[in-house]
Amino acid sequence: MTAITDRDGLAGAEAGFLAATPGFEETAVLDDLRATEYARLDARGDVYLDYTGGSLYAASQVEEHHRMLREGVYGNPHSVNPTSSAASALVDRARAAVLRAFDAPEDEYVCIFTPNATGALKLVGEGYPWRPRDRFLATFDNHNSVNGIREFARRGGASTAYVPVEAPDLRVAESTLREHLESGAECAHHLFAYPAQSNFSGVKHPLEWIVLAHEHGWDVMLDCAAFAPTSRLDLSVFKPDFVSVSFYKMFGYPTGLGALIARRRTIERLERPWFSGGTVVAANVQGDLVVPHSGHAQFEDGTVDYLGIPAVEIGLRHIERIGIDTISRRVEGLGSWLLAELQQLRHSDGSPATCLYGPPAWDRRGGTIAFNFLHPDGRVVDERYVDVVAAQHDISIRTGCFCNPGAGEIAFSLTKEMLTEHEFAVGMILDDYIEEVGLPSGGAIRVSLGIATNFADVYRFMAFAEEFRDVADVPDGLPPRLGC
């Protein structure tokens, strides 16, 4: 077993890594920031590897935001008084900064602030003009916040369909996608939703699908929640109709804010199910009048988070100073190393100690790696035990199904029959259902890299992974699983 604090081992491994990873030294600015902006990680001894769950904020982001709050006076932007105007100006600046960050032309796109990516997806799902003969198409590989759109579609009488991903890489076969897109020809409205990057496998699905789907008459919802934190999205080149992001996944702070970046011409077709304060030019009671705002204002219910939104501009500036391409390169270098090391991990008898879900090499993928540890006899190590050992080493990772059941169903070879034969009966807990379906564990382990990851993090993770070599069994009494 490699000791997790083995500094000599770390220095030697890092030298080998640097020699084998040309160009990585160009990301050294992130080592400097790790020692300053993210110093709390090493001060606490934390190994943070859950960036797809949420990124980390730089200390200066919080300081700048707090300075703004301490020094300014800001009122509700729904007025025109001086403090209200001050808040409106900051919100408008942040809105423009979001569009700039994604190279979205202002005459083509609007930025609608939402509580998170889920809020953005819900705005589209509930407002899309679903009618009988319309269709909602999604890839198996999607977050539940995209899957949930099917409920709105069905309520409007539309049909729903899924394009499968294929094991072991968990990518979509383009010929299958084409068949699905062609089959929508007779629909009046049809929406295709997919993630630019999988929050399960790290697969980057092609942005070229946007063009393909448009050629077949589909509107496109591109979920960028897992993609945007470490990849460049250029909306002057690829033009999805809707883009969802969560800002805490991009730069850690503030939580509670995301955006729907939407094409002006497509949001005109959305039908809001209600109106509220902030979304109307005029409304009255006796005359039943409602005159909705146009653009972003029609979609931002009530008072926006006018003190939090300026922190979005601060976060975007932080990313811009580093450069998103530098972050991408960093994650690619460290992720490639970790991906290879994990797959090489063997028990003493030579049997594999891990099982990877998703692309085995760094090809069209991001820094999200899903896998399970295996016992020497090939059984999956209970992910709850992995959580227990990780916590002992101050390692933060994610375990479970990551709210992405479709990718998991393919990764774990679950068929429709297996899933429809068994019901989640009243009184059952998740563990009962997992046993009923015959799953070997509650999902997988997810390690994800981001802005502040350094070589020591992935090295310490591999030292921890070594502890699973030759583990024949896990202890009893692991906590019950409460959700996936």
Q: Cite the DSSP H helix spans in 75-173.
A: 82-101, 117-127, 144-147, 149-155
Q: Residues with Cβ < 8 Å from 365, sequence gap 6 or more?
A: 197, 201, 202, 203, 204, 335, 358, 359
Closer to ligand PLP by Cβ: residue 4 or 226:
226
Q: Which two tokens stand for residue 424?
A: 């989640």
Closer to ligand PLP by Cβ: residue 61 or 246:
246
Is 401 annotated in the active site? Answer: no
Could you tell me the smallest distance in angstroms from the CB atom of residue 248 to ligand PLP? 7
Distance of CA 158 to the CA centre of its chain: 27
Could you tell me the smallest distance in angstroms from the CB atom of residue 466 to ligand PLP? 29
Question: Could you list the residues that contact ligand PLP (CB under 6 A)?
Answer: 52, 116-118, 143, 145, 195, 199, 223, 225-226, 246
Q: Residues with Cβ < 8 Å from 167, sequence gap 6 or more?
A: 410, 411, 413
Count of helices and strands (H, E) across the chain: 19, 15
Could you tell me the smallest distance in angstroms from the CB atom of residue 145 to ligand PLP? 5
Closer to ligand PLP by Cβ: residue 246 or 454:
246
Could you tell me the smallest distance in angstroms from the CB atom of residue 250 to ligand PLP? 10
Would you say 293 and 280 are in contact if contact means Cβ atoms under 8 Å apart? yes
CA-CA-CA-CA torsion sign (315, 317, 318, 320): positive
Q: What is the distance between the alpha carbons of residues 200 and 177, in angstroms, rounded to a whole number?
A: 20
Closer to ligand PLP by Cβ: residue 226 or 445:
226
**SS3 of 166, please?**
strand
Would you say 229 and 55 are in contact if contact means Cβ atoms under 8 Å apart? yes
Closer to ligand PLP by Cβ: residue 366 or 442:
366
Could you tell me the smallest distance in angstroms from the CB atom of residue 52 to ligand PLP? 6
Could you tell me the smallest distance in angstroms from the CB atom of residue 65 to ligand PLP? 19
Helix, strand, coil share (%) of the chain residues, nearest 5? 40, 15, 45
Q: What is the distance between the alpha carbons of residues 69 and 377, in angstroms, rounded to a whole number?
A: 58
Of 462, 272, 273, nearest in space to 373 by CA: 462
Q: What is the distance between the alpha carbons of residues 164 and 415, in angstroms, rounded to a whole number?
A: 12
Closer to ligand PLP by Cβ: residue 306 or 402:
402
Closer to ligand PLP by Cβ: residue 52 or 453:
52
Of 328, 333, 334, 332, nearest in space to 459 by CA: 334
DSSP class of residue 203 equals B
Of 406, 463, 451, 431, nearest in space to 170 by CA: 406
Could you tell me the smallest distance in angstroms from the CB atom of residue 117 to ligand PLP? 4
Closer to ligand PLP by Cβ: residue 101 or 225:
225
Closer to ligand PLP by Cβ: residue 382 or 387:
387
Could you tell me the smallest distance in angstroms from the CB atom of residue 48 to ligand PLP? 16
Could you tell me the smallest distance in angstroms from the CB atom of residue 225 to ligand PLP? 3
Distance of CA 164 to the CA centre of its chain: 19
Catalytic annotation, pick one of 355, 401, 403, 484: 403
Residue 220: count of CB within 10 angstroms of its CB: 24
Q: What is the distance between the alpha carbons of residues 459 and 134, in angstroms, rounded to a whole number?
A: 50
The residues that bridge with 219 in the sheet, in sequence order, are 191
Active-site residue list: 403
